[in-house]
Chain A
């Protein structure tokens, strides 16, 4: 509906508003088209893959093949890759929260020598390309027998998830007035109790937002799992490409694998949507 006034039910039709709405819908379609195209591909049989665009007979065979319900993909254990991704991503976020939340709190509340350097070092993990460190990490992983293990993936994912969580949560902790904790301390709480019972509940939206972002980044990581895993701990981002090789490209299976891979981040985002909206807008509306 075209709208020109900020109040929801009292809108007037204007040409400018209509153009704006049409533009918004067009942009929405444009932005979503790659996903729509992947979805369409995932519903095509192999013989329709290169002969049809939008008019075809949809089939769920690609999904069955990817899920191992047909014999077409015996050599690609995609569900194992899916499980590996879940283990590595949840594991990485869990460890990062465990370490990152107290760290973010400390960075927000205490001034200590080297704190800025440590923060910058953490940040550098994010802006330094993964390729810059991948070969030394590969060598270290071989020596420590972490290559192709879940533990190895969870560990290396800390380069992705920990900086996100520390930097995002630090700003949330900074936004909270210290008087809240001081009041709790006056009431007889220890600092740990004040942190857990007073501060943490207040940054729940931030925790949800940071954890979700960290999960998505870990889930989408390609270079680390590609180089640091073999067939045991391989994740969906690498495993989905396995359908691309061989005598003929099975884009439909890769597309189906991609659609299936979208499910966990989407479910997670929807399930914590209530916190997420508050978390992402928290900084914007503060006084």
Chain B
């Protein structure tokens, strides 16, 4: 299996380095090579927290006059934040300067800054998966001491109001393969995506079909939609869109969600060694089924499909349904958001054989640079940005969905707003308890899932699933030894 195109920042962590990854290492920064090692000590990244220096009563004005710098990704969450920044400055006297970059380049920028150790950006956005890479080299501040210090954290912060599986997602021991939920809190959940079916009600109603409740049902439904929708007045419409590009992001949305519901796993821990199990008895037929579904009922150029292609095909009325982030459908369903706005509906997706509704999630989180020179001001910003007041405003007045706080989801104004999105809230409530990160925490995550996406493409192209997945497992093992 050949190497694939991916962002530069992934190379910084890769053991089987590309040219660019090698060059980064040649630049004299050993952290990348260190992060690529799967057998580091759990003590790595431990640090004496500056939180201990904060004493006395809590006061929002404790860092009055300080300026902090944020690195942000171009995103509706960011738009909501920027619209409310003056509130934070008025409250604390802290000025927030920010640089904003689109996601395609964002993590390159963040990785360079963290690697450099200059602490240019005090706070930044990151995905929960990035904790597995940025955490071990000691680049991320552990937020636990800050949360637990009443002198530093406002009494209304209500940490427990954030859904447990989201808090857990950013909480890790830094030990390869160990489950999430213990160790440092290396980021704070800010907004998240759960992967569900989003479908076009117009075509479903016209053809008299309902969302599928099983994987086999999904395959049949997608085929029926592909066959019947064009004849029913939906020209060029096909059954189902999912991501299919040779990137890690192909694996984590609908694919990983349904794979897990069917009982599939990515790795198993054998002592201290992670063993890839993508070639298991459960996995092989699932890959065949998924690839076949996309071949027969997906877009013609599925192997080029990223987030945007999936969303825009749904919004343009080309895809009858998608299996991807729930918020991807939300943005398409807003007035003016697409030609199909107002016609979309949500469904949890097929259950597993045992009724499982396990759902994989992507969490935009906020982190603090361990090298920040303004940690108190940065912490005040982080607790405000992930606090009830801002997140409630951002969800109701902005497009900060999905909210990470239960109190926001239960807010009547938010519920009223979301009622225009058919079955969005019902779907959310049906899956939220089972929505978690379904991957095994490890710094080789991006490499492994990118290779996995390559294997899926090969199966889609006609390669035998068993042999392809055996080769995948061997390659992943070789790259992590």
Contacts and interface: CB of A to CB of B under 8 A. Distances in A.
Interface residues of A, number: 31
B331 interface: yes
Interface string A219-257: 000000011001100000010011011111100000000
A131 interface: yes
Given A50-B316, A132-B26, A247-B331, A230 B74 contact: no
A136 B118 CA distance: 11
> Interface size class for chain B?
35 or more
A185 to B, nearest CB: 48
Given A134-B112, A230-B99, A51 B76 contact: no
B109 A246 contact: no
A242 B79 CA distance: 13
A116 interface: no
B29 A248 contact: no
A132 B337 contact: no
Interface in B12-53: 20, 23-24, 26-29
A231 B101 CA distance: 9
Contact of A75 (B29, B100, B332): B100
Contact of B312 (A129, A139, A248): A248
Contacts of B26: 132
Nearest to B106: A245
A226 B111 CA distance: 13
Q: Name, among A142, A238, A244, A247, the residue most crowded by chain B CB atoms within 10 Å (CB to CB).
A: A247
Contacts of B98: 231
B118 A248 contact: no
Nearest to B327: A247
B427 interface: no
Interface of A is mostly: helix
B315 A50 contact: yes
Contacts of B73: 245
Interface in B367-398: none
A47 interface: yes
B23 A136 contact: no
Nearest to A228: B112
A238 B23 CA distance: 22
A282 to B, nearest CB: 36
Contacts of A244: 74, 102, 104
Contact of B24 (A135, A147, A241, A248): A135
A202 to B, nearest CB: 41
B115 interface: yes
Contacts of B220: none
Q: Name, among A47, A143, A230, the residue most crowded by chain B CB atoms within 10 Å (CB to CB).
A: A230
Interface of B: 8, 20, 23-24, 26-29, 69, 73-76, 79, 82, 98-105, 108-109, 112-113, 115-118, 120, 308, 311-313, 315-316, 318, 331-332, 337-339, 399
18 contacts: A51-B339, A75-B100, A129-B20, A131-B23, A131-B27, A135-B29, A136-B27, A226-B101, A226-B105, A226-B109, A227-B108, A230-B99, A238-B101, A242-B100, A245-B73, A246-B79, A247-B337, A248-B311
